[in-house]
Amino acid sequence: MSQPTNTAQSRPVINWMDVLWLLFLAGLAVLPPIGEIHKQLTLLAIGIVQLTEGWLLARAPRRGAAYIVLLKIVLATLLIDHTGEIGINSTYWPIYFLPAVTAAEYFSPLSTLLWTALASAAYCSYLYPALQDYEMTTEGYGILAIRILFFFLAAMVVNRFVVENRRQTKLYQELAETLAETNRKLEQAQEDARRSERLAALGQMSAGLAHEIRNPLGVIKGSAEMLHQKLGESNPLASELAGYISSETNRLSALVTRFLDFARPLHAELNPQEITAVLDRALHSVSLSLVQKGEDPPVRVERQYEADLPPVPLDESLSEQAFVNLIQNAYDAMGNSGGTLRVAALRASNANRDGVEVRIEDTGPGIQQDLREQIFNPFVTTKKTGVGLGLSIVSRIVDGHHGTIRVESGGGSGEPQGARFVVFFPASEEAGVAQASQ
């Protein structure tokens, strides 16, 4: 027979309904046959079983219910034996409701049926001694069948109610668990929100600070340059030191500018533009700044622009800034030895949106897989003088254009190494309509 459910285990050790039970049993005790000591003892045993039911279930959660039902069948059978001249005719026959209903309380419908069948069989066992001395009439068999059917009826009615009750309890338990989980998530979200607020405040403060640093930096830089010029040959050491101040101030100033670029709220003003013109400007601006710095690595620039590209809604200066960052990174990656920088622009579609894809590809060392997952996070850098904000800024700008960015890196067996950044810009609605009507 199947195991009783957990609801049985959570039953209190004694409850007021058990006490009520005892009162009913006491009522049976004062009814005839009063003088029959075995009857009184059996009723007492039934009372004890009833009282200790919770305790028994707590002690033996797996088998306890089966022991209790079995005990009740035995006690009911004893009671029948001591309350009638012939057991089968005892007026105490409804005592078998007790094991049947108890089984219904703890077991599944099928197990309840089996336990009730066992209780009925125990009751019917009195047929044997009765048939030795008496003859059973058809009416007698009918009455017996009716009593047994009532056992089943009562057991099934109670079991149906209990099963439904168990189902509801399980449902409420699941609901409570879901609620607890939701509560946990909510608390986590609140904690995250509080942390974000603190970080935002910190970000605002550092942006203000960075902004304020810029002015004195300009003064320091200007003064150092003047000193450097004025001192010239007259004091070579002082002039060299002034040169250091100037170059380090340049570095600091670049860092502050980069930080402010990152911290500043992004307002992209999108207007349809030829993306290739913006790319050309970015290429020109990077190579010019390298020439100015006296670093001009031997890089071959290959442009692969598809003809008749549709105009794309772009913020001219922001998109140029993004391309400059990507191109600068490509130059940095190839280093002094140089290489090939391939810049491609082609029609593409992404998540059912038509647009233009820009690919910026170099022949540098490429990017390791674990680093690839982090490079768009702020302050991730492998460069000595890098800030690690370039790609975070790019990614914010691409978001501002409702586009996507991804990085691919070669370096597999036989493949040429190098990194490839692929940026997708969705075409404007108007461009899409114009394209469709062509």
- Chain residues binding ligand ATP by CB under 6 A are 258, 325, 329-330, 333, 362, 364, 367, 375, 380-383, 386-391, 419
CB of 412 to ligand ATP, least distance (A): 16
Residue 267: strand, helix, or coil: coil
Residue 419 interacts with which of ligand ATP, Mg ion, none, CB < 5 to 8 Å by class: ligand ATP
Please list every residue from 357 through 396 that binds Mg ion, using CB under 5 A: 390
Min dist CB 333 to Mg ion, Å, is 10
Q: Minimum distance from CB of 325 to Mg ion (Å)?
A: 5
Which of Mg ion, ligand ATP, none binds 356 (CB below 5-8 Å, type-dependent)?
Answer: none
Provide the 8-state DSSP code for 386: -
From the CB of residue 167, how many other CB atoms can be counted at a distance below 10 Å?
10
| Residue 387 contacts which entry, Mg ion, ligand ATP, none (Cβ below 5-8 A, type-dependent) | ligand ATP
- Compare residues 25 and 290 and give the one whose CB is closer to Mg ion: 290
Say if residue 33 is preceded by a cis peptide, omega within 30 of 0. Answer: yes
Q: Inter-axis angle of helices 64-81 and 97-106, to 10 degrees?
A: 170
**Nearest distance, CB of residue 298 and ligand ATP, angstroms:** 17
Site string for Mg ion, 318-357 (x = CB under 5 A): -----------x----------------------------
Residue with Cβ nearer ligand ATP (162 or 333):
333
Half-sphere exposure of 232 (CA within 13 A, CB side): 3
Q: Which does 333 bind (CB under 5 to 8 A by kind): Mg ion, ligand ATP, none?
A: ligand ATP
Copy the structure tokens of residue 398: 């691409």
* DSSP reduced 3-state for 372: helix
Complex with Mg ion: residue 49 or 324, whichever CB lies closer: 324
* Closer of 204 and 374 to Mg ion (Cβ): 374
The residue whose Cβ lies closest to ligand ATP is 390
DSSP H or E segment with residue 393: helix 390-400
Please tell me the distance from the alpha carbon of residue 320 to that of residue 314, in angstroms, as a whole number: 9
Least distance in Å: CB of 321 to Mg ion? 12
Q: How far, in Å, CA of 4 to CA of 23, rounded?
A: 27
Please, which residue, 241 or 252, has the CB nearer to Mg ion? Answer: 252
Residue 95 burial (10 A CB sphere; 0-12, 13-18, 19+): buried
Q: How far is the CB of 319 from ligand ATP (least distance, A)?
A: 16
Which residue type does 206 have? Answer: S
Q: How far apart are the first and last CA of the chain?
A: 77
Helix (H, G, I), strand (E, B) or coil at 354: strand
Binds 314: which of ligand ATP, Mg ion, none (CB < 5-8 Å by kind): none
Cα distance between residue 248 and residue 242, in whole Å: 10
Residues in contact with 176: Cβ distance below 8 Å, sequence separation at least 6, in sequence order: none
Between 50 and 329, CB nearer to Mg ion: 329
User: Applying CB under 5 A, which residues contact Mg ion?
Assistant: 329, 390
